[in-house]
Chain A
Amino acid sequence: NAGVTQTPKFRVLKTGQSMTLLCAQDMNHEYMYWYRQDPGMGLRLIHYSVGEGTTAKGEVPDGYNVSRLKKQNFLLGLESAAPSQTSVYFCASSSALNQPQHFGDGTRLSIL
């Protein structure tokens, strides 16, 4: 079972560069989420989606954009990367509101 797959696993960017992180799930889940995890802090929600074509802002959305053109994919974009966006990014999906979210193994992003 693949579950939630994130690509790439690692990436180093220079300040000002742009990139897209891809999340794919094969569980036919409606809900998808992007989190960031920083040392000493809990996972924080960036953006989320309740279905194909719908997205919404989470707790820390500034500097990020998302798209969900297909139900199985949720993309996170950084238009102009900043050092403060150095973090580990996790994607998650769930079948319903009160069901557990299942996570991918993360993308480790460093911005110099």
Chain B
Amino acid sequence: EDQVTQSPEALRLQEGESSSLNCSYTVSGLRGLFWYRQDPGKGPEFLFTLYSAGEEKEKERLKATLTKKESFLHITAPKPEDSATYLCAVQARGSTLGRLYFGRGTQLTVWP
């Protein structure tokens, strides 16, 4: 069965301390991998889509990369406002209706 595993479950960083979040997946053919940010009491906010191994996307302090089995979300010099839960989701190529399989998320806390 298609699965998405995110690690670590929680991460505490000091402001400016760079790190990476991991999303490993097993799907029978990847159509796309999506990263979202979720703040408390809010819905997931779209960050990036990656479609093929080797692809990279950047936005401000965030950079997402993709291999055939996993994706990393690199956070460079984070700030307290980057604190949120980061969700990874994959879509299988065989899905005719766009179903996303979500991981449980990584809760990131950045302290001053």
Measuring CB to CB, which residues of chain A are less than 8 angstroms from any residue of chain B?
Answer: 4, 31, 33, 40-45, 48, 50, 56, 58-59, 90, 92, 94, 96-106
Contact = CB atoms under 8 A, between A and B. Distances in A.
Contacts of B32: 98
A4 B42 CA distance: 12
A105 B46 contact: no
Contacts of B95: 97
Given A43-B102, A97-B31, A98-B31, A103 B97 contact: no
Nearest to B47: A100
B29 interface: no
B42 A106 contact: yes
Contact of A50 (B43, B91, B97, B103): B97
B104 A41 contact: yes
B99 interface: yes
A99 B91 CA distance: 10
A105 to B, nearest CB: 5
B90 to A, nearest CB: 11
